[in-house]
Amino acid sequence: MSECLHAGTLILIALPPVAFVIAVIVFYFATAEED
């Protein structure tokens, strides 16, 4: 049996790091600078 990586699997793998990095950039700009 020779399986190949499906396009859906590749998207599933690539999505979380992209999503979390975008989310932390949003967090960086959206939060106030004051202490």
Partner 1 sequence: MDIGLLMAFLVYLIVLIGVGIITYRMMHTHDDYYLAGRRLNPWVTALSAEASSESGWLLLGLPGQAFSMGVGAFWVAFGCLAGTFFNWTAVAGRLRKITGFFRAITIPDYLESRFDDRSHTLRVVAALLIGVFMTSYVAAQLVASGKALSVTFGIDYVPAVLVGSAVILFYTMMGGFFAVAWTDVVQAVMMIIGLVVIPVVGTIKLGGPGAVVARLAECAGDTSGFMSMRVGREGIALATFIIGMLGIGLGYPGQPHVLVRFMAIKRPSLIRKGALIGIIWAAIALYGAVLVGLLARGILSGDVGDPERVLPLMAMELLPSWIAGIMIAAAMAAIMSTADSQLLVASSSFVQDFYHKTFGRKPSQSTLVLLSRLVTLGIGVLGMVIALRQDPENPVGVVFWLVLYAWGGLASAFGPVIVLSLYWKRVTRAGALAGMLSGAATVIVWESIPVLKEFLYVLIPGVVVSSIAVIVVSLLTTPPPGPALTGDAAAGDAKAAGVDAGQ
Q: How far apart are CA 25 and CA 27, in angstroms?
A: 5
Counted residue by residue, the chain has a size of 35
Does residue number 35 form part of the binding site for partner 1 (CB under 8 A)? yes
Does residue number 1 form part of the binding site for partner 1 (CB under 8 A)? yes
Does residue number 28 form part of the binding site for partner 1 (CB under 8 A)? yes
Does residue number 17 form part of the binding site for partner 1 (CB under 8 A)? yes
Q: How far apart are CA 14 and CA 9, in angstroms?
A: 9
Residues forming contacts to partner 1 in the complex (CB under 8 A) are 1-6, 9, 12-13, 16-17, 20-21, 23-25, 27-28, 31-35
